[in-house]
A and B are shown apart, each in its own frame.
Chain A
Amino acid sequence: DADVTQTPRNRITKTGKRIMLECSQTKGHDRMYWYRQDPGLGLRLIYYSFDVKDINKGEISDGYSVSRQAQAKFSLSLESAIPNQTALYFCATSDSGQPGKGYEQYFGPGTRLTVT
């Protein structure tokens, strides 16, 4: 079974709709992240959370919100989707308590979102 899961894997939605992407992990990690991938731009950080009560904006948070419902769950919402939010979205986790390994992030399989 996958350690980091994302639902849905694919989603097509219309401009103006609210959409939620969900991420769950069984790795027991405390830190979770949301990224989007666009061609040629790599992965850009949207939001991150270092524990359940800690939420921080990343490089490109405008138009997005997040919720850390539990240590294992971190959801990303697009309040009113627009076409330039069409992208691949990845959730990732890391373990701050692992000496020398805290930098490594483990990624889910991604959600392909299309906004028409």
Chain B
Amino acid sequence: DQQVKQNSPSLSVQEGRISILNCDYTNSMFDYFLWYKKYPAEGPTFLISISSIKDKNEDGRFTVFLNKSAKHLSLHIVPSQPGDSAVYFCAASDGNMLTFGGGTRLMVKP
């Protein structure tokens, strides 16, 4: 059973609008959460993270929100740009390993 799930395999948004990518997890032992971005023919690259003691972390256009009671996190991208088109993976850490979700393909249309 997948411990980290991204229920939307794809998302399409217009340039300049907000992109919201969602992720759910089941393991209460996860204490750190990360988002990775992946372009074709490249490895995933780290985007932003959040500790379980926080509920929000912001870095420029990217904000991650964590709702521990719901075991849910989301990544907001505002404003979305065509260069943001990629596959986004959420990942959760138990202190040693990362467990990844299945990914969401974001397409930002000009």
On whether the beta carbons of A43 and B89 are closer than 8 Å, the reply is yes
CB-contacts of A94-116 with B (<8 A): 103-110
Indicate if the CB atoms of B49 and A44 lie closer than 8 Å. no
Give the docked Cα–Cα distance between A92 and B97 (Å).
11
Find out whether the CB atom of B97 lies under 8 angstroms from the CB atom of A108: no
Work out how many contacts link A and B, with CB atoms closer than 8 A. 49
SS class of chain A's interface: helix, strand, loop or mixed?
Answer: strand
**1/0 per residue B76-89: CB within 8 Å of A?**
00000000000001
Bound Cα distance A35, B89 (Å): 14
Q: Which of A41, A50, A109 contacts B102 (CB 8 A)?
A: A41
Contact of A104 with B34 in the complex, beta carbons under 8 Å: yes
Q: Which residues of B contact A106 (CB under 8 A)?
A: 46
B contact residues around A35 at 8 Å (CB): 100
Given contacts A43-B89, A45-B97, A103-B32, contact A90 B44 (CB under 8 A): yes
- Listed by A's residue number, 5 A-B pairs whose Cβ atoms lie within 8 Å are A42-B100, A42-B101, A43-B100, A103-B32, A103-B95
